[in-house]
Every structure is written in structure tokens, then in C-alpha cells.
Chains A and B, each alone.
Chain A
Amino acid sequence: MSNQEITQERIQNLWKQLKQQAEAGGYHLNPDDEFTKDLVRSLIVNQQRYGYRACPCRLAAGEKASDLDIICPCDYRDADISEYGACYCGLYVSEDVVTGEKSIRMIPERRPAPEERAARTLSAKNVHKPLAMPVWRCRVCGYLCARDGPPEVCPICKAKKERFERFM
């Protein structure tokens, strides 16, 4: 682990980048900058440790295929923001948290247990409908598109191709 290499500048740069991306897509980073920069630091730790930004508040398997749903932004972010005003780790929050109308509390784990996740992947693979084109769904933001394969990058939330699932 090369924690000493994580400079304040590096944290600041990633924080700025995530903030810009969030605002451009209609999302918000947690306005508690100290809290948020601690999380950004942990994202950098996980990037170095696993090769991808696994959620800092979940135990990554260290195998990308098993961790895809918890690569930040995770598959559960939007539902948690809607229900609790923040995603599981607290990096992303809703507008009423930004304005101070709502405060965040502990968020229960929405990610299904490992067996359920395996079952879900299997059932998704069994979707075959007579459509002119398959429909792909971004598991991060819900964006849908009908085309031969998923796009390289989600045009809405910028999640990578591997975060898409066959929807119809």
C-alpha cells in the first residue's frame, strides 16, 4: 500500500473532477467537504489496491467481475439518494441535503447478499424477446438504449460499457 503517495493535491483534483461530473449529470457531491475528501482519498486507495474505485464502505472481493455493482458510482446510488438523501457511503447526496433541508443518517445496505446477486445475473442472461434490437440498461443511472451492443460509455452518467445489462 502506498498511502504516502496520496497527496492533498491528488485528492483535490479527483474531488474537483467528481464534483464537476456530478453537477453536469444532475447529481451532487456531499457538501461536507472534509467528509467527502476523506471518501475521495479512500477511492484513490481502492483504485491503487484493486485497480478500480470500489465503494470505500464495502468489502471488495478484489475481482472486478464480482465487484462491478459496487464500483463508484455504484448500482445502488440512485435508489439510496431517492430514499435516504445519500448513497451508501455518503459521497453523493440529494438536492435537499445540499440545501440543508434534509440531513443524512445511516443508510442500510441495499446490495443483495452474494447468493441473490448470482441469481440475479443468471436471470438477466435469460432475457430473450423478439425485438428488432436488444435494449441495454445502464445499471448506474437507468439510461436505456436500443442498439446491437451497449455504448462504450453511458452518455448520461459516464459509466463504462461493462456496467450495462441487457434489459429487453
Chain B
Amino acid sequence: MEFKHIQGKDQGKIIMYALSTCIWCKKTKRLLDNLGIAYDYVDVDLLGEAEKETAKDEMEKWNPKGSFPTLIFNDRTCVVGFDEVKIREALLHE
């Protein structure tokens, strides 16, 4: 599964599972872009069937509902949804 890397300030490992059609995912990407932070994301709806299953399995380990966006900071902290407060907190503490 290929993640797209967005360049920026290194704030640790930030992984985001997103949907290309989801406006909340778009807002989350925009927030990270505006903060100028480096992150990696994948639009799960654009993956092939096998990769989609892998992505779902990975995501569900962190977020059993499998909802979008799911962000994982440093393989430790998971934030679900466009939750600006929690995202900023995760960036501070991670």
C-alpha cells in the first residue's frame, strides 16, 4: 500500500487513512498542510480490493469502527475524525 508523503516540519510519524470523497478528510489534510507538518496519507477508496482490505484491517486495529479520517501519531496515539483540538493535542504531546 502506497502512502503519499506530504513534506513539511518533522513532528514524528503521522499516518492518515482518508477517503478522496470525504470533505472532513479534506479539512484534516488542509489543517496539517496549514500547520506545515510532514505526514503520509492514503485515500482508501482509491485502492485496489486487496489493498483496501489490508488498509481496513490496519485501521480497525486503531479505530474499530473503521471510520474516516483515522490518524495515527508515532504508532501510539489515534485520532478519529476532523477533531482539531485532539489533532493539535496529539501534535503537542507526541
With A59-B68, A109-B67, A113-B65 already in contact, the answer to whether A35 and B19 are too (CB < 8 A) is no
The interface residues of chain B lying within 8 Å CB-to-CB of A38 are 23, 26
**Which B13-45 residues sit within 8 Å CB-CB of chain A?**
19-26, 44-45
The interface residues of chain B lying within 8 Å CB-to-CB of A108 are 67, 80-81
Looking at the complex, which one of A60, A106, A111 makes contact with B81 (CB distance below 8 Å)? A106
Decide: A59 and B19 in contact? CB cutoff 8 A. yes
Contact-residue size bin, chain B (C-beta under 8 Å from the other chain): 20 to 34
Q: List 27 A-B contacts (CB under 8 A).
A: A35-B23, A38-B23, A39-B23, A42-B22, A45-B20, A46-B21, A56-B22, A56-B23, A57-B23, A57-B24, A57-B68, A58-B67, A59-B19, A59-B45, A59-B52, A59-B56, A59-B66, A60-B45, A89-B22, A89-B23, A90-B23, A106-B24, A106-B81, A106-B83, A107-B81, A109-B67, A113-B65
Given A45-B20, A45-B21, A57-B21, 4 new contacts (CB under 8 A): A57-B24, A59-B66, A89-B23, A90-B24
